[in-house]
Structure 1
Amino acid sequence: MDTASNNYNNDKKNEGSVPSNRNVSLRCCSSRRWGGIRWGKSKRNKVVTADTFQSQEVGEAESLFSVSDHGSVQCIDDRSKKERRISRKGIRQYMSRYFPMLSESEEAVICRIENESSRAEDIIKAMRLHSNSALIQGRGCAILTTIAKDRSNHGSIASEDGISVILEAMRTHGDTVEVQGQACSALGNLAAFENNTKLSVASNGGIELIVRAMKMYPDHPGTQERACGALFNLASLKPNRVKITKAGGISAVVKAMQMHPDDASIQHHACCALWSLAGDVKNSVHIASEAGIPAIVKGMETHQYHPKLQHSASGLLRTLAINSDNKFHIASAGGVPALIDAMEMHPGSSHVQKEACGALRNLVFHPSICHHVRNHRPHKALEAAADRFPIECGDSANSVLDRI
Structure 2
Amino acid sequence: MALRRITQETFDAAVRENVDEFEMDPDEALREAVEQFQSQGVDLSCIVKAVPAATSDDKHQEQTHEILQALESLSVAQDSPDSTKAAADIKCFTEQCLLGFAQRYLAAQKGAYPVILSYCQKSMGEREATFAALSALSALTDGQPDLLDADGKRFLLDALEQHQDDSSVTRAAISAVRHACLKHEQNRQDLVKAGALPLLTSAVKRHSGCAEVVKEASAALRIMTFDDDVRVTFGHAHEHAKMIVLQHNGLKVLIDSAKAHNDNITVLSELCATLSRLAVRNEFCQDICDLGGLKLMMTLLAGSYESAELVRQVLSAIRAVAGNDDVKDAVVKAGGVQLIVIAMNRHMIISAVCEQGCACLSVLALRKPNNCKVIMEEGGALAAVQAMKSHPGVVNVQKQACMLLRNLVSHQPNYSQPILEMGVEALILQALRAHRDCGDAAKAALRDLGCQVELRELWTGKRGGITN
Q: TM-score, normalised by structure 2?
A: 0.61
Cα distance in 2 between the residues matched to 1:136 and 1:293: 43
Is the 1:386–1:397 contact (alpha carbons within 8 Å) kept by the matching residues of 2?
no
Q: Sort the Cα spacing of 1:395 and 1:142 in 2 relative to 1 into closer, same or farther, 3 A.
A: same
Q: Secondary structure at the match of 2:393?
A: coil
Equivalent position amino acid for 1:339 in 2: A
Is the CA contact (8 Å cut-off) linking 2:204 and 2:217 kept in structure 1? yes
| CA distance 1:100–1:384, change in 2 (3 Å) | closer
Contact preservation (8 Å) 2:381, 2:405: yes
Moved over 4 A (4+): 99-103
Structure 1: gaps of 5 or more residues: 1-98
Asked if structure 2 preserves the Cα contact closer than 8 Å seen for 1:379 and 1:401, the reply is no
How many residues align structurally? 304
Give 1:267 shift.
Answer: 1.6
Distance in 2 (alpha carbons) for counterparts of 1:246 and 1:113: 38
Verify the 8 A CA contact 1:213 1:223 in the aligned structure 2: no
Aligned with residue 196 of structure 1, among 239, 257, 262: 239
8 Å CA contact retained: 1:121, 1:156: no
Aligned-partner residue type, residue 104 of structure 1: E
Q: Which moved more, 1:184-193 or 1:201-210?
A: 184-193
Mapped partners of 2:334, 2:217: distance in 1: 27
State whether residues 344 and 353 of structure 2, in contact with CA within 8 Å, keep that contact through their aligned partners in structure 1.
yes
Q: Residue 402 of structure 1: SS of its match in structure 2?
A: coil
Deviation at 1:271, TM superposition (A): 1.6
In the TM superposition, what is the alpha-carbon distance from 1:396 to its structure 2 partner? Answer: 1.4
Which of 157, 161, 164 is the aligned partner of 2:191? Answer: 157
Structure 2 residue runs of 5 or longer lacking an equivalent are 1-120, 141-146, 228-236, 453-468
CA shift, 1:167, in A, is: 0.9
Show the 5 A alignment for 1:58-97. none
The within-5 A match list for 1:3-402 is 103-105=125-127, 107-114=128-135, 115=137, 116=140, 119-152=152-185, 153-193=187-227, 194-203=237-246, 204-322=248-366, 323-364=368-409, 365-366=411-412, 369-389=415-435, 390-402=439-451
2:24 corresponds in structure 1 to none
Partner deviation per Cα, 1:104-144 (whole Å, 9 max, x = no partner) = 13x32221112236633322211110111112222222332
2:459 alignment counterpart: none
| 1:140 partner letter | A
Amino acid of the residue matched to residue 166 of structure 2?
S
CA root-mean-square deviation: 2.3
Which SS does the other structure have where 1:192 is aligned? coil
> Which digits, 9 at most, give the CA deviation of each residue in 1:322-376, with x for residues without a partner?
2122112212322121100111112122222121112112223425544542443
Q: Deviations over 1:32-72 (max 9, x none)?
A: xxxxxxxxxxxxxxxxxxxxxxxxxxxxxxxxxxxxxxxxx
- Distance, in Å, in 2 between the alignment partners of 1:129 and 1:255 is 38
**CA 1:307–1:373: 2 relative to 1, 3 Å:** same
Conserved in 1, the CA contact under 8 Å of 2:205 and 2:257?
Answer: no
Name the aligned partner's letter for residue 388 of structure 1. A
1:262 to 1:332, Cα distance in 2 relative to 1, 3 A: same
1:196 Cα deviation after fit: 1.4
* Aligned residue number for residue 21 of structure 1: none
Q: CA deviation at 1:243?
A: 2.2
Of structures 1 and 2, the one with the larger relative CO (CA 8 A, separation 6+) is: 1
Is residue 382–residue 422 contact of structure 2 (8 Å, CA) maintained in 1? yes
The 1:143–1:290 alpha-carbon spacing in structure 2 relative to 1, beyond 3 Å, is: farther
Deviates more, 1:371-380 or 1:308-317: 371-380
User: Between Structure 1 and Structure 2, which shows a larger proportion of strand residues?
Assistant: 1
